Structures are given as structure tokens and as C-alpha cells.
Amino acid sequence: CIIRLEILGNSSMVPSKLKRHLETKHQQYQNMPIDFFKRKEELKAQKKLIQIMGTGNEAAFKASFLISLHIAKSKKNFTIGEDLIMPCILDASHAILGDEVAKKLKTIPLSNAIISNRIIMMSEDINQQLKKKSKMYAVQVDESTDIVNKVMLLIYVQYVDWDEEEIKEEFMSCLELKKQTIGTEIFSALADYFLSADLKMSDCVSVCTDGAPNMTGRQEGLVAKMKQVTPNMQGTHCIIHQEMLASKIAELNQVLITAVKTVSFIKSSTLISRLFAILCDKMGSTHRTLKLCYLADIFQLLNELNMSLQGPHKTIFNTYNKIEGQKKKIKLWIERIENNCFDMFSALMELMNEAKEKNEDSNFSQLNLIIVNHLEMLSRQFEKYFPASQDPREDFLWVLDPFNFTSQTNTICMNEKERLADLPSDVTLKNLKNNSSFEKFWAKVHSEYNLLSEKTLRVLLPFPSTYLCESGFSAVTAIKTKYRNKLTVTPTLRLSLTNLPCGGDAVARQKR
């Protein structure tokens, strides 16, 4: 039936039955000329064609979003869609699926402008998701310059995802500082962004910075400005930066710098390398080489500590555990060196054994004094930057194991202590704690122990370092090259760094 677009059975195709169908179901059309019904049939065919074409266009539209997402995550130029991806798709489809499929795939829009538009749409979708989740949050901020010397301020946020009941960290934004990089300018840019994103600065529990004066200045620093708005907010100095400061000891550090410069000069010429080798044989350079071996060993060990502090999903507990362990190791090394044991320094130990085999007089007792002196200075440096009296873990050990709580802690009030005392009696919560991380545990018990949960989350949310910002600047360098130095980097950067689900197909349906 071309009027109702119904399919009639074979038995209904008898002329008498067709006439009865017209007179009973479509009485108003029974006196219409034959041309009327022919036009209806043509219209039906056109609708079917439009439906088929619409389905194909919708699929191509969705594919365009999905490919754009991959381009953003790979940090490649947007022109790669037309220049590389589409030719590869067409060649593969011609070879495997045939020309008909290739014609359909050719309809996928992948021009430079379209890819850019798709990335902006998906970036905004991610941004909207983040706005809905960031109620109580902590941020880390850092500034640097891009390839055209524009000052970029990167912001990462850590928040509680109440839907999934866990703490998450996410790239928030990349802001351009138009003028100076002083604390007031950074604060103004940050405040304007929070206002546009409908975020309350009063909900920010912590800000982590690299310790530069424009960030930590007592009067005009970013942290000071933010505390004027949020007095209870915590300002933290990047623990990786502090570890690097603690590891720099001028005396032997200068020896290493001089050695690196000397080696670079010697290796610059084969003739100089040969002459230097002859000179070393004549003068006997074992003692100086032993010092360099020790420096190579100690800096290797400190580098391992630095690497362990890097990475996502860090808290004050696991980072300060590493620092405390290093402080104890240094004291242990001092004891072993005093007992003429050098096995923790592998390169030094190997060279010392070679010197003993050759009966070379290397004055090991003097070397012992130099190493012990250096390690003692290193120990004092670590105590200076990470004093035991200011250990942030000390009063919050109950966060890690609330079932072994002791009432001596002074970081919670009496009401909170009473609620904490109830926890060990709850067998179901013990099972929950054993089967999940302590971060997820405190997020899950928020509805029942909301005061304790919020107190705990204020301890777990702060970033211990600005590692994410530093890695984000590496992404900025890859995205904003000299060939596209005018690119607005935030949308691409957000898609390349986000951990949130980026529903390219969902965005495509919505925009369609």
C-alpha cells in the first residue's frame, strides 16, 4: 500500500480485494486519478533512498569523529587525515573489499578543518564531564614557554568520582598568560578560568607547585593569593623538586660537572683521547677515578629514588615512604663505609678490586673519609628538606589502617574519634578494606562515615608533585611544533591526556 506504506499479503493482491481495501481504508482517495498514486509511489522510493543515504552519512560522520580522536591522541598534524589515513583506507578497501566499499569509505570527511572541528567538539564534551565531577578537588599548576615563547600554564585536577567511588586525576586546562608570570597574574588567570568553568575556588583543598617565588611567595605568590580566598587550602611544594635540591651538594657536585666537561673535551678529538690515555698512565689517576666511580654510583642511586617519585596516582604516603627509606639507607651506607664495605657502590667496588689486584696505592682510607663526609652532608640535606618533625604522614596513619586506630592522634575531633572507633566492629567494612585500596575504601564509606571520609579525602587528594604538569609540557612540545605554532593547543592536549571516556560516537550522534 503506497498510502500507508504497508506490505499486503499475496492473497490481498486480487483486484476485488484491492478495491475493497481502497474503499474501506482510504475512502477519501477513491476518486483520485491514477497519476496521484504514481506520484505517491515515486515519493515512497525517494524516502527509501534518503533513508539509505542518511544511514551511510551518519556512519561516515561517526567514523570522522573516531579517526579525529586517534589523530588527537597521536599528537599528529590534522592534515594527516587527508594526506595519509584516507589514501591508506581507500587502498586497503580496494585491495580487500572491492570498489563498492571504497566508494562508501571515501565519503568519510577528513579535511584539516573538519578534523579540527571534531577535536574541539570532543574536547568540550570532556570538559563538560569534568565540570560535573569536580566538587571537592586539588590542583597542580606549573608554567613554561612554548615554541613561540608564549607562557603556558598547565592545570591538573584530582577529584573524587562519586559515581565510581574512587579518586581520579585529570588534565584540566592549558591557559596562556598574556603578560608577566608573577603570582598575581597566575592567580588572575586561574580565577577567571574557575569562574568560566563554574568551579568554586573555595572547594579547592590543595595546590601543588614547583616552589618558585611566583608560586610560593608569602605575599604575592599564587598559593598566598589562593589562601586569601580559601584559608584552609593547603599549599604543597613538589616533592621531586625538593629531592633534587636535597641531592645537590656543591663540593662533589662540582667535581662531577668538571669531569663531564673534561670528558666532553677529550672525546671531541681522537688525538686528544690518545694523548690523555698516555698522560693518565704516566701520572697514575686511580684515586681520582675512584672518586668519579663513587659519584656515578651515588647519583645512580639518587636517580632511582627520583624515578620512583614520578608517575601518576601518587599520594603523600607512598612518596614520603620512599624519602624516609632513602634517609635510612644513607645512614646505613655511612656505617658500612666506616667498616670498609663498599658493596652498595658497584662501579666503585669493581675499580677498587682492580686497583688491589694491580697493587696500586690508591689511599683508600682517605677515600673513605671523603665518601663518609659526602654522605653525612647528604643526610643533613635530606633532613633539612624533609624534617622528621614535619612528616605529613605522622598524624594520619589511621587513614591507612582505620581498624588499628589509636586515640593519641590529634588531627580529628572527639566526634570523629568516636566514629572511627565504630569502624573495627563492622565486619563488612573489614572485608571491603581488604579487597580494595585505602583510597577507594574511604570513597565507598562516604555515605555512612561522611565526616571521616571528607577528612581523609582532604589528605589523599593533594598532589605530592607536579609530575603530571611536566609530562604535559612534553605533550605540548609534540603538538605545537614550528609547523603549526599558531595552533590553539588546549583541545588537542585535552584529548591526548584525558583519562575520561571520550565518546566520539556519542558526540557524533548529538551533533548530528
| Same domain, residue pair 88 and 19 | yes
Query: Rounded CA gap, 54 and 107, in Å?
Result: 12
pLDDT at 286: 53
pLDDT band at 4 (very low <50, low <70, confident <90, very high): low
In a domain, 2, yes or no: no
| Same domain, residue pair 343 and 381 | yes
Query: Rounded CA gap, 13 and 21, in Å?
Result: 10
- Structural domain ending residue among the three candidates 97, 115, 133: 115
Alpha helices in 248-388 (DSSP H): 250-267, 270-283, 286-309, 316-338, 346-357, 364-385
Q: What is the mean pLDDT of residues 107-124?
A: 90
Going by C-alpha positions, the residue among 205, 181, 106, 103 that lies closest to residue 460 is 205
| Sequence-ordered list of residues with C-beta below 8 angstroms from that of 162, at least 6 positions apart, any chain | 133, 135, 443, 446
pLDDT at 497: 92
Query: Rounded CA gap, 316 and 390, in Å?
Result: 12
| Same domain, residue pair 133 and 179 | yes
In a domain, 5, yes or no: no
| Same domain, residue pair 363 and 403 | no
Number of domains in the chain: 4
- Structural domain ending residue among the three candidates 115, 145, 179: 115
Greater confidence (511 vs 233) lies with 233
pLDDT at 370: 83
pLDDT band at 384 (very low <50, low <70, confident <90, very high): very high
Cα 138 to chain centroid, rounded: 14
Contact (CB, 8 A) for 465 and 458: no
Q: What is the mean pLDDT of residues 230-244?
A: 92
Query: Rounded CA gap, 215 and 153, in Å?
Result: 12
Query: Rounded CA gap, 346 and 344, in Å?
Result: 6
In a domain, 28, yes or no: yes
CATH number at residue 136: 3.30.420.40
pLDDT band at 142 (very low <50, low <70, confident <90, very high): very high
Q: What is the mean pLDDT of residues 149-175?
A: 90
Q: What is the mean pLDDT of residues 165-174?
A: 90
pLDDT at 55: 45
Query: Rounded CA gap, 78 and 488, in Å?
Result: 13
- The pTM of the full predicted model, rounded to 2 decimals, is 0.79
Contact (CB, 8 A) for 107 and 188: no
Contact (CB, 8 A) for 213 and 276: no
| Same domain, residue pair 386 and 415 | no
Strands 166-177 and 151-161: antiparallel
| Same domain, residue pair 157 and 211 | yes
Is residue 319 over pLDDT 90? yes
Helix, strand or coil, per DSSP, at residue 344? coil
| Same domain, residue pair 374 and 401 | no
Q: Which of 132-146, 148-162, 463-477 has the lowest mean pLDDT?
A: 132-146
Alpha helices in 154-269 (DSSP H): 183-196, 213-216, 222-229, 239-247, 250-267
Residues 187-201, buried b or exposed e (16+ Cβ, 10 A)? Answer: bebbeeebeeeebeb
Helix, strand or coil, per DSSP, at residue 177? strand
| Same domain, residue pair 310 and 296 | yes
In a domain, 141, yes or no: yes
Going by C-alpha positions, the residue among 90, 88, 69 that lies closest to residue 78 is 69
In a domain, 376, yes or no: yes
What's the N-to-C CA distance of the chain in angstroms?
Answer: 32
| Same domain, residue pair 138 and 104 | no
| Same domain, residue pair 400 and 381 | no
In a domain, 4, yes or no: no
| Same domain, residue pair 299 and 386 | yes
Q: How many other CB atoms sit within 10 Å of the CB of residue 371? A: 24
Measured CA distances, 296 to 248, 255, 257, 289, 309 (Å): 14, 11, 12, 10, 20
Q: What is the mean pLDDT of residues 79-98?
A: 92
In a domain, 296, yes or no: yes
- Structural domain ending residue among the three candidates 70, 86, 115: 115
In a domain, 1, yes or no: no
pLDDT at 53: 40
Is residue 333 over pLDDT 50? yes
Is residue 361 over pLDDT 70? no
Q: What is the mean pLDDT of residues 308-316?
A: 92
pLDDT at 357: 77
Q: Which of 246-255, 334-343, 430-439 has the lowest mean pLDDT?
A: 246-255
Is residue 51 over pLDDT 90? no
Query: Rounded CA gap, 300 and 68, in Å?
Result: 42
| Same domain, residue pair 108 and 171 | no
Q: In what order do the strands lie in the sheet with 166-177?
A: 166-177, 151-161, 137-145, 204-209, 234-237
Contact (CB, 8 A) for 227 and 235: yes
pLDDT band at 279 (very low <50, low <70, confident <90, very high): low
Is residue 492 over pLDDT 80? yes
Domain that holds residue 52: 10-115
Chain segment 403-452, per-residue pLDDT in tens: 876 656 667 778 877 877 787 777 778 788 778 888 888 888 888 888 88
pLDDT at 217: 87
pLDDT band at 294 (very low <50, low <70, confident <90, very high): confident
Could you please report the per-residue DSSP string of 119-152? HHHHHHHHHHHHHHH-SSEEEEEEEEE-TT--EE
Greater confidence (197 vs 355) lies with 197
Length of the chain in residues, anyone? 512
Give the number of C-alpha atoms closer than 13 A to the C-alpha of residue 159, restricted to the C-beta side. 23
How high is the mean pLDDT of the chain? 83
Residue 163 grid cell: 559515581
Going by C-alpha positions, the residue among 350, 347, 354 that lies closest to residue 294 is 347
Is residue 52 over pLDDT 50? no
Contact (CB, 8 A) for 75 and 109: no
pLDDT at 6: 67
